[in-house]
Amino acid sequence: MPHKITLTGSATGPLREYDRYVAFDMREKGSPSAPKGLKKSTFISYTVFVAKKAFNKTGLTKKSIMHEKILIQGEPTLDIPIDECPGEVGVICFQITVLPNKNDKEKNQSDEKKEPKQEASAPSQEQKNTESTNQKEQAPVSQPVAKEEKKEEETVKTEIKETPVEEKKTEPKPKALPNQPKGTQDLLSFDDIIVPEEFLKTRPNPDKTQKVIDFVKRTGRLDEPLTIEKGSKILKDGYRRYVVAKTVKMDKVPVVYEYQK
């Protein structure tokens, strides 16, 4: 009897399309405690193979599969070539479902909590109106003094309305510069980098490439900058990080310039 396997999580690698099926990589944590004398397993990498019809029914895309949490049910296989199955274990998927995100549930709960607060704020406005009417009754009869007080109140209100607009304009300035790795000299557009044919013929180590992808997902940046020749913008070093930036679809990449000899 074939063994059944169930996986939950998000895709850790890009979606690869074939004639009748698609494939992507996933990871799960190993057992936290192992028997004495045996090594503990940290992570187990899987390569999932799904029929195109079943995948299209989920509504997932190349971008969303990296962020959505999915459930995979199938059986392991060892008959697929290594080029198509970079993971430690290959899984033929019989059923794939998209799991709901926790953020959606929290937003719905927060919206329900905000509604009674708005209802409670309504009587406070009525109290303000009653207080203003009481102040008018207690004010002296002299009309010119009341007009001067109204003018002062209007000027104060206009100043209060104008000040937060200026603060909102100045707040986003520090957020424009993201954190970059040490040694970064410039941020270069990904499309401007020229990759030599020597790099394109090679294939980086999948395990090391996956470690860099995990680092980018945790921190939002690369671990080291790319080495680019000044002027020609030819890639000199860091082809693995170039591949990671391409899979994650980064617009700009941190670089270090190497001057022409």
Tell me which of 62, 81, 102 is where a domain ends.
102
Looking at the structure of the chain, the number of domains it has is 2
- CATH no. for residue 226? 3.90.1530.10
- Output the six-digit token pair for 234: 């030819």
- Decide which of 86, 102, 118 is a domain's last residue: 102
Residue 42 forms part of a structural domain: yes
Give strand ranges (E) for the chain: 5-9, 16-17, 21-29, 43-51, 70-77, 89-98, 186-189, 226-229, 235-237, 252-258
Final residue in a domain of this structure, among 78, 102, 126:
102
Per-residue model confidence as pLDDT tens for the chain (261 residues) = 568 889 888 888 889 998 899 999 998 876 667 777 787 777 888 999 999 999 999 988 888 888 889 999 999 988 888 778 888 888 999 999 998 876 666 666 666 666 555 544 445 565 656 566 556 555 454 455 455 666 666 665 665 555 554 454 554 443 434 678 888 888 888 788 888 888 888 888 888 888 888 888 888 788 888 898 888 888 889 888 888 888 888 888 888 898 766
Is 88 contained in some domain? yes
Q: Is residue 136 part of a domain?
A: no
Which residues have C-beta within 8 Å of that of residue 181, sequence separation ≥ 6? 221, 222, 223, 224, 225, 254
Residue 235 within a domain: yes
Domain extent at residue 25: 5-102
Residue 192 — left, alpha, or beta (φ > 0 → left; ψ -120 to 50 → alpha)? alpha
Collapsing DSSP to helix, strand or coil, 2 comes out as coil
The answer to the question of residue 37 being in a domain is yes
- The CATH number assigned to the domain holding 79 equals 2.40.50.140
Residue 143 lies in a domain: no
pTM equals 0.39
**252 Cβ contact partners less than 8 Å away, ≥ 6 residues apart:** 187, 188, 189, 190
